[in-house]
Amino acid sequence: MTNSKAQGSLIRGIVTDYQTGKVLDMANITLQPMSGKGIIGTTTDSNGLYEFTDVAAGDYVFVVRYVGYEMHIDTLTIGLRARNISNHVQLRHSREELEEINVQGAVAEDMNPGQISISPQTFGRAPTPGGSADLASYIQTQPGVVAVGDRGGQLFVRGGTPSENMMLMDGLLIYQPFHIIGFFSVFPEDIVSNVDFYAGGFGPRYSGRTSSVMDVRLKNGNLYNQKWSASVSPFVSDFFFESPVREGKSSIIGSLRGSLIEETSDVYLSEKQPMKFNSQLLKYYSSSGEGVNCSALIMRTYDRGSLDFESDDYFKWSNIVTGGRCAGASAESKVSFVDFNFGLSYFTNEQGGSEGGLRNSQIFKSHLDMNLTLYVGEIRFDYGFFTDYRTMSYDIANLFVSLDEKAVAFSNAGGYLKMGVNIGEKILIEPGVSVTSYLKRLSPSVEPRLQMSWQPRGRVDEEIHAALGIYRQPFAGLTDFRDAGTSFTTFILLPESERRMEARHALLGWRQPVGDFFDFSVEGYFKEIKDTPVATWGPVARFATTLAYADGTVRGVDLRLNLNYRRFYMGLGYGYSITEYTTRQDHFGTWFGEPVQSYNPPHDRRHQLNAQTGFNVGNFSTNVSWSYGSGLPYTRPLGFDSFFSFDQRPPDVTEDYGEPRVLLDKPFLGRMPDFHRLDISVAQAFNAGSKDIKVQAGAINTYNRENLFYYDVFNQKGINQLPLTPYVSLKIESN
Amino acid sequence: MRNLLNQIYCKVKIFLFGLLCISGIACENEFDPLQENDRYVFSMYGAFDIHADTNWVRVMPIAETLIPRDPESNGTTVTMIHQRTGEETQLQPKLLRFSGNVYVWNYWTTKELEPQEEYMIRAEAPGGNQSFAIITIPSELDIPDVTYSGGNEEGEIRGTSEDTLVTMDFRYFIQVIRDRVVEPEVEVIISNLDDINLKTNGDYCAEIDNAEKLEEILLANRGDMIVNRRELVVISSSEDWPDIADLSEEEIVLPDAVSNVVNGTGFIAGIAKRKIVITSKRASAESAPKRECI
């Protein structure tokens, strides 16, 4: 990132896309003296920032290169008197290289341990039954990411539960970005610029979650041209537009999506799919042209539906997210880069039906944070400050009977620091710490973290890396996983104030290209988890339960193989994972003779394999994706009876039925059948004057496998995922 | 043409599956949602009362569904065996139907029971699998003396029992007057078991004061209640009666925590039960001199 040759001036700037203002990371920048030798170079970081320090006086040729963009060449004259120079660069797309990039994904990323960088161009590798590819379909093909089925919107990452995942959208928190139909999220390819997905070992900038982080950067609207697109399929329709507000200075994007499957499934599928969702997004972006850009957005989502189509139970949830962000760099400042965020996030969800009454839960968060980057010599400091205010309330009809407090509010404030220390040119060590104070509500949390990488030949795509860290979460999202067919989450502060969900991550990985077209990565991980709330075990089919806690471990390995050869790609991802919980419950001594029991929770998917392939020839493209997952644990009963209590009186068997009871050795001893599914899509694009038309045809579950979504132990009923589902989609966009 | 396409589709499908099976990861696996059950044959619940004309026991095979909905006979034979004499009595089946088409089988007998004798209650499936429980019938229980004041729901119960008292319930059949409307009759059961004072010679005495308890349960003043009927139920049992005082709510429901059924689940007790209707005559004993209940 920095390079020094002599006492002199500082040159600092941000490299962005000319059309949209999107920051370009890993752009190559060189500074070559016009007289004499000694070319110096650097690359931009994830904020598009570059910096040359102590540049000697003289005339230089300043060159910026980025794959897919025209090369930027300029001359710079540095005077004898040292000064700070701002030099922001806007790169224009290169038409010649564009097609090639779309296929190959192109730029080598300088990634952190545990990180996967996903560009929206790759979303389509997982066929989505809509006009636009979607992050939800793609992320489920990643090793280490477990979705229990094709509905419900719940993702488990490396043994963590859904509420332990942090989902960020331009720095704003969104609690549930995945729609009730598992192929869709609030992130279609049209609105996404880039996704950084951290499956573990993430740095101190992200605090308050114990499992994973998905940091999505949304697109900025085009600063010069109006564009729009509209698409329709049997599952979803969407409309997207982008437009400059002040040419070259500010822009706006809007996205509207709505599901259609509830309406179309009646005539189109053998079974009605009673699921509905919609989302709306508006984002404003403004660029000063002087290295400072600001944006503001508002998003609303709505989901409603039933996971077991034969029951009356329904789930409903909604997100409202709004906030703004300003970021920039100035050579006049000692600080290299400043990023300022403000946001409000609200999430409400509800479960209702014929049994158990209505349950609902809400969570609201407002936050303010500032992130800064500073170089002191060769050491990079990333640090920041944050403050949050949260409210949580719920009415869960005694689902967890020990929870008395129905509403709670709390604030926290803290900061983080991460140092980037280069040892030589090949080793980078990044120690850091996050400190959070909960203003007397909870004890403060100090979370040290360490990331290390070694690039043996100095190439960013060839790396051995490791990470260690402690992660804590002040609140828990309770889901009654006794019933896999649920999406209802209650957000609470754990009733016992001395308890705090905690995870300790350790991971070790290797990324390696082989030749020009093939690369692989392998990452092993180990997590210790503490105080995860679980439902108390019992044999009676009671609606209400009490809260217990589990500690545990998660260990596994993720392997990825990628082949990108011209217009053809092939990818293989394999994840092996063992999640084991240990829980102590008072009645275990009577039940098992031992007060502590170990088990694999219902999201413990042992093997996961995803294979994807496809090609793109001219305007024709095809994508094939096959997914396999070994069976998930479920409670396998010995049988059933009805139970009578002899509490103070004998039963009257002539009048009473008794209380239904499931007889079992131990919960979660059974394994559901393996899951596998083949999804295929083919697409042909046409040009029709000022419009581009793309027709896509495909099929979900092409060989019509009966994949079990969940098994209802108490009613002895299996609920299957989607059968063979062919679809055709149409997308029209302005060019 | 359609047949040809179907054949091609099947062949492609078989080929794809063949490839997957060769890779060893995607072969179809049988899914049996239930674990093999070689532990429990029958669920058996009931209480055999030395004073009853007819005794009932619920006997159901361990089911494969949570709610039994099959009204067909399961062929179970239930037999009561007097352990001392070896005399066998076969119980008669009766199908009981609850709402929602829920069916269970009860078995009954009018055979007279002998006090302090052991009986085996045995259930046998058509294939020969059995579950059984051995119970001890307690001694006969004397009808207790009751003095009771209906106005303030106070009273005193005195009696003698050779065995442990396991139940002392007052059952009230009450209509509440709320907002000048007389509500439908409800049954309220109050246990006064904890109010019993027991002497070493088997005498017992209990002071009853149930007005406040009724007010708490019905959320109404005693003055707004019409008590249509009062019953007292006193039950004694042999030492077999399950001791659940130290068990938590989670423990009580565990199938092996409270059970005397071998090769099955449930509990069958031997009891001596007395039910006394508190009549106006008994209730009129308000003016009777009050003795210390110690």
| Mean pLDDT score of chain A | 89
> CB burial class (10 A; 0-12, 13-18, 19+) of residue B19?
exposed
Interface test with A, best of B250, B261, B268, B275 (most A CBs within 10 A): B250
Instruction: Sort out which chain B residues have CB atoms less than 8 A from A539's CB and list them.
Output: 253-255
Interface test with B, best of A648, A661, A671, A678 (most B CBs within 10 A): A648
Whether pLDDT at A27 is above 50 = yes
Q: How far is B12 from chain A (nearest CA, A)?
A: 9
Instruction: Judge: A661–B253 Cβ closer than 8 Å, yes or no.
Output: yes
Q: Tokens 């392998």 identify what position? A: A522
Interface test with B, best of A626, A640, A652, A724 (most B CBs within 10 A): A640
pLDDT in tens, A594-614: 999 999 998 999 999 999 999
What confidence score (pLDDT) does residue A29 get?
92
Instruction: Judge: B29–A673 Cβ closer than 8 Å, yes or no.
Output: yes
Residues in B 180-239 with any Cβ partner in A closer than 8 A: 191, 193, 233, 235
Contact between A731 and A696 (Cβ < 8 Å): yes
What confidence score (pLDDT) does residue B43 get?
96
Measure CB to CB from residue A641 to each of B31, B62, B248 and give the nearest one.
Answer: B62
What confidence score (pLDDT) does residue B65 get?
84
What are the phi and psi torsion angles at B19 (to 5°)? Answer: -60, -45
Least confident of A1-10, A234-243, A552-561, B6-15: B6-15
Helix boundaries (H) for A352-487: none
What beta strand segments (E) does A199-291 contain? 212-218, 227-232, 236-246, 250-259, 275-287
**Angle CA B28–B33–B38, to nearest 5:** 120
Q: Tokens 């389509």 identify what position? A: A124
pLDDT band of residue A590 (cuts 50, 70, 90) is confident
Instruction: Judge: B193–A648 Cβ closer than 8 Å, yes or no.
Output: yes
Instruction: Judge: B255–A641 Cβ closer than 8 Å, yes or no.
Output: yes
B170 shares contact with chain A (CB less than 8 Å): no
pLDDT in tens, A519-550: 999 999 999 999 998 888 888 766 556 788 99
What confidence score (pLDDT) does residue A100 get?
43
Spell B180-218 as b/e; 16+ CB within 10 A means b: eeebeeeebebebbebbeeeeeeebbbbbebbebbbeeb
Helix (H, G, I), strand (E, B) or coil at B14: helix
Q: How far is B287 from chain A (nearest CA, A)?
A: 31
Query: Looking at the DSSP assignment, which residues form a beta bridge with residue B234?
Result: B168, B274
Q: How far is A607 from chain B (nearest CA, A)?
A: 9
What confidence score (pLDDT) does residue B26 get?
47
Measure CB to CB from residue B269 to each of A642, A650, A708 and give the nearest one.
Answer: A650
Q: How far is B35 from chain A (nearest CA, A)?
A: 5
ipTM over 0.90: no
Tell me how far apart the alpha carbons of residues A721 and A627 are, in angstroms, rounded to a whole number.
14
What confidence score (pLDDT) does residue A102 get?
41
Whether pLDDT at A6 is above 50 = no
pLDDT in tens, B63-102: 888 888 888 889 999 999 999 999 999 999 999 999 888 9
**CA torsion through residues B81, B132, B116, A653, sign:** negative
Q: How far is A659 from chain B (nearest CA, A)?
A: 9
**CA torsion through residues B169, B170, B175, B177, sign:** negative
Least confident of A94-103, A383-392, B30-39, B151-160: A94-103
Least confident of A147-151, A391-395, B174-178, B287-291: B287-291
Whether pLDDT at B284 is above 50 = no
What is the chain B residue with the closest CA to A665?
A: B35
Instruction: Judge: A660–B67 Cβ closer than 8 Å, yes or no.
Output: yes
Instruction: Sort out which chain A residues have CB atoms less than 8 A from B104's CB and list them.
Output: 642, 657
Instruction: Judge: A607–B25 Cβ closer than 8 Å, yes or no.
Output: yes
What six digits make up the tokens of B19? 């490839």
Measure CB to CB from residue B248 to each of A587, A674, A703 and give the nearest one.
Answer: A587
Residue A291's closest CA among A338, A325, A253? A338
B64 shares contact with chain A (CB less than 8 Å): yes
Tell me how far apart the alpha carbons of residues A729 and A721 are, in angstroms, rounded to a whole number.
21
Q: How far is A232 from chain B (nearest CA, A)?
A: 29
Instruction: Judge: A638–B35 Cβ closer than 8 Å, yes or no.
Output: yes
Instruction: Judge: A663–B37 Cβ closer than 8 Å, yes or no.
Output: yes
pLDDT band of residue B25 (cuts 50, 70, 90) is very low
Residue A607's closest CA among B19, B34, B23? B23
Tell me how far apart the alpha carbons of residues A704 and A683 are, in angstroms, rounded to a whole number.
22
Interface test with A, best of B34, B107, B129, B271 (most A CBs within 10 A): B34
Q: How far is B265 from chain A (nearest CA, A)?
A: 8
Q: Which whole-number Å values give the CA distances from A690 to A687, A735, B34, in the listed order?
A: 8, 6, 61
What is the chain A residue with the closest CA to B164?
A: A648
| β-bridge pairing A212-218 and A165-169 | parallel
Instruction: Sort out which chain A residues have CB atoms less than 8 A from B258's CB and list them.
Output: 646
- Average pLDDT of A208-213? 95
Least confident of A373-387, A613-627, B3-17, B225-239: B3-17
Task: List Cβ neighbours of B212 (8 Å cut-off, separation of 6 or more).
Answer: none
- The gap between the terminal CA atoms of chain B, to the nearest Å, is 96
Contact between A508 and A526 (Cβ < 8 Å): no
Q: How far is B211 from chain A (nearest CA, A)?
A: 20
pLDDT in tens, A218-243: 999 999 999 999 999 999 999 999 99
Measure CB to CB from residue A646 to each of B31, B37, B244 and give the nearest one.
Answer: B244
B164 shares contact with chain A (CB less than 8 Å): no
Residue count (chain A): 735
B10 shares contact with chain A (CB less than 8 Å): no
What confidence score (pLDDT) does residue B14 get?
47
Sheet harboring A165-169: ordered strands across?
A: A115-118, A192-198, A212-218, A165-169, A172-173
- Please state, as a whole number, how many other Cβ atoms lie within 10 Å of the Cβ of residue A165: 26
Interface contacts A/B by beta carbons within 8 Å: 161
- Average pLDDT of B252-281? 91
What is the chain B residue with the closest CA to A708?
A: B31
Residue A632's closest CA among A255, A156, A287? A156
Contact between A339 and A327 (Cβ < 8 Å): yes
Interface test with A, best of B12, B137, B253, B263 (most A CBs within 10 A): B253
Contact between A381 and A375 (Cβ < 8 Å): yes
Instruction: Sort out which chain B residues have CB atoms less than 8 A from A658's CB and list them.
Output: 45, 58
Q: Tokens 């904020």 identify what position? A: A47
